[in-house]
Amino acid sequence: MNRTMIAIRHLAFEDLGAFEAVFLERGLEVRYFDVGLDDLSRLDPEQDEVAVILGGPIGAYDDRTYPFLHQEVAYIEKRMVRGLPTIGICLGAQLMARSFGARVYPACKKEIGFFPVDLTPEGDSSCLAYIRGAPVLHWHGDTFDLPTGAVRLASTPICENQAFSYGRNAIGFQFHPEMGAMGFERWLIGHALELAVAGIDVNKLRSEHESVRFDLERRAHECLRVWLSNVGEAATLTSHPVAQPTLDHRRLK
């Protein structure tokens, strides 16, 4: 297994955000796989120490419109069978839930904005303790049932399953724990139509981000550090920092 991590990205601006620095700190080479540009069939589920399935504006159930979703689900399933560290964020968490056989479907309303999640007792003793009480970013219209064998970690009134763990090596976040200090303006531009249709005040959303962005970045770092430190024996992650790591954003060829 290579000392690499891979982030499957559906939109260029929905990247690893604040999580990226922690992977570099762990001495992992960061590789982005861009859906729609790179060949999903060439992804080896066993090649990378960690995989992160990132967010996007499509439904995890939209196979007829986006056939590549079948390949993504198969990739996640193979990593789960092997117990390899895997993180799902928003669409990524929904695809993880689907790969476990759970239902993904539209929620009663969209959740867009900054507000906290309610942690379960299991969530409070997990890496999510570092986001306790913080107004984290929500940007989704779908939700999912808790997969069989998974443990609920967080909820909101609209979405009961805001985060879940599956064993020690898999975690899914319906919200965006990776959102930190940088890059939020790209979201406001890229999702301008959705915000307008939903009646969201862009200036208010920007102001909310400005007030919490550095705190969220710090919390994101601690959350991911704890999770990486607690992954099971299937991972070979080291905990020593690497001085001045060089980021390589090569796409798979």
Distance CA 11, CA 32 (A): 11
Pairing, β 151-155 against β 163-165 = antiparallel
**147 phi and psi, to 5 degrees?**
-60, 145
Q: Which amino acid is at 64?
A: R
Query: Does residue 178 carry a catalytic annotation?
Result: yes
Q: Which amino acid is at 176?
A: H
Backbone angles phi, psi at 115, to 5 degrees: -160, 155
Concerning whether 176 is annotated as a catalytic residue, the answer is yes
| Active-site position among 10, 14, 90, 138 | 90
- Rounded CA-CA distance 161/75 in Å is 23
Q: Using an 8 Å Cβ cutoff, are 81 and 73 in contact?
A: no
CA–CA–CA angle 138, 106, 158 (5° rounding) = 50
Question: Which of 29, 178, 209, 223 is an active site residue?
Answer: 178
Catalytic residue among 10, 138, 140, 176: 176
CA 122 to CA 134: how far, in whole Å?
A: 17
The 3-class SS string of 120-148 reads CHHHHCCHHHHHCCCCEEEEEEEEECCCC
Rounded to whole angstroms, the maximal C-alpha distance in the chain is 47
Beta bridge partners of 111: 140
Active site residues: 90, 176, 178
